[in-house]
Amino acid sequence: MKLYDNLIDGTMEELEKLQGRKISFDPASAWECLENTEFIMQRDAGLELGGAGMPSVNYTCVTTSGKVLEDEILVYGKDIREIKGDTAFARIVILETEDLGEDKDQEKAFQAIRNLEFVRYHVFPKGYMVRVSSQSNQEQVRISSAALKGGIDFARVGAAYIKKYKEVSQVRKVRVIFITDTELVKVLSPNADKVDAITKTLTHILDGLPTDCGHCSMKPVCDEVEGMRELHLGKK
C-alpha cells in the first residue's frame, strides 16, 4: 500500500519545520476508554480543542513502506495541560500495516480498510468527547474538568488510540500526531480531502467499479496518485 505515501511524506516535511515532542508508546499509560461516546455538558467542560471557529482537521494514512518504525505519539504545539483558551486542533494517524493484498484478495483488503476506518471513530477516552464531521474532516474535542484534574494529556490519549489500532491484526506500527499550533493545522488541513479522495477511490475499486476511465468520476484521483490506476486496471 503506497497510495498515501506522498501525503505521508508531505505531512512529515511540514512537521519537521517545527519543534515537536516524541513520546514512545507505553500501553500501561493509556488513558482509560469507555465502550461508547460520553456526552460532556458544557458546564462540565474544562477545555475545547478545535472549536469556536478555530481550524481543526483529522486524517489517517496507511502505508507498507516502512515509514513508521515504532509506535509513537508526536505532539506539536501546546499539550492539553498547557492550553488555556480556544485552540486549533489536528489529529493525524499514520498506520504501518502488513501487505493488505489489495491487488490480490480484494475482499480481504476491503475488510481491513473498513476495520481501520472503524477504529478512527471508535475510541472513546473517558472525559474526552470527540465530535467529528466526516464531511469536512474536522475534529473537535471537549475535555471534562475531571479529566483535566486526573492528568489527561496527549501522550495518554495517543496511547489509547494506539492500543485500539493494534487490535486490528494487520496493523504493525502506529504514529499518532496531535497538533495545536494554528498555522500548522491550517497548512495540513487540505491533506484531509486528498486522503479522503484516495480512500473513496480505493474502496470503489475494491467494490468493483467498472474499468472505464473515460467515464469515471475518480479520474482526477487516478491521474494524481501513483499506483491507483495500476491497481484497478492491472486487476482486470
Report the alpha-carbon distance of residue 79 to residue 227 in Å, rounded: 38
Which span sits near ligand SF4 by CB under 6 A: 22-30, 52-60, 134-142, 201-209? Answer: 201-209
Residue with cell 472503524: 118
Closest to ligand SF4 by CB, 188 or 218 = 218
Residue 144 as a binder of ligand SF4 (CB under 6 A): the answer is: no
Q: Does 173 bind ligand SF4 (CB under 6 A)?
A: no
Could you say whether residue 212 binds ligand SF4 (CB under 6 A)?
Answer: yes
Q: Is the dihedral of CA 9, 10, 14, 15 positive or negative?
A: negative
Q: Which stretch binds ligand SF4 (CB under 6 A): 26-34, 123-131, 170-178, 205-213?
A: 205-213
Q: Does 211 bind ligand SF4 (CB under 6 A)?
A: yes
Q: Assess contact for 81 and 185: CB atoms under 8 A.
A: no
Considering the rule CB under 6 A, would residue 229 count as an interface residue with ligand SF4? yes
How far apart are alpha carbons 16 and 204 in whole angstroms?
34
Candidates 87, 95, 201, 225; binder of ligand SF4 (CB under 6 A) is 201
Among 94, 205, 206, 225, binds ligand SF4 (CB under 6 A): 205
235 interacts with ligand SF4 by CB under 6 A = no
Residues near ligand SF4 (CB under 6 A): 201, 205, 209, 211-213, 216, 218-219, 222, 228-229, 232-233
